[in-house]
């Protein structure tokens, strides 16, 4: 049996440092228009970062930047439509 291949959704943004994550994480997801639970964070060594302990390990092991990807294409936010546009469809 072969190992499965993981296919990531689109790249969204990254944290260049641990302090960047601490200071900007909440705003980063809001700005990207996606919930954090619809994303995966991977450190520079390809390991997932899910909780503070993981981000601290990435810091201690020089594994920043941590890149953030959508889990699936369909998790990406959809462009907002105006009600009038919907009536004309």
pLDDT tens-digit profile, the chain (89 residues): 788 888 899 999 999 999 999 999 999 999 999 999 999 999 999 999 999 999 999 999 999 999 999 998 777 776 655 555 544 44
Can you give the pTM of this predicted structure?
Answer: 0.81
* Total count of residues recorded for the chain: 89
CB 25, CB 15: distance < 8 Å: yes
Residue with tokens 């105006």: 82
* pLDDT value, residue 79: 63
The edge-to-edge listing of strands for the beta sheet with 66-70 is: 11-15, 66-70, 39-42
- CA 26, chain centre distance (Å): 11
SS3 69: strand
Helices 52-60 and 18-32: crossing angle in degrees, nearest 10, is 130
* pLDDT value, residue 89: 46
* pLDDT value, residue 1: 78
* pLDDT value, residue 82: 52
* pLDDT value, residue 73: 79
Domain ranges of the chain: 11-73
* pLDDT value, residue 83: 53
Bridge partners of 40, per DSSP, are: 69
């Amino acid at each position: 049996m072969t190992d499965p291949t993981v296919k990531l959704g689109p790249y969204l943004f990254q944290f260049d440092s641990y302090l960047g994550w601490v200071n900007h994480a909440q705003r980063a997801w809001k700005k990207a228009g996606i919930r954090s639970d619809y994303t995966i964070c991977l450190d520079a060594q390809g390991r997932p970062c899910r909780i503070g302990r993981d981000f601290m390990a990435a810091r201690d092991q020089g594994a920043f930047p941590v890149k953030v990807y959508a889990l699936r294409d369909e998790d990406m936010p959809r462009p907002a439509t105006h009600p009038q546009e919907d009536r004309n469809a």
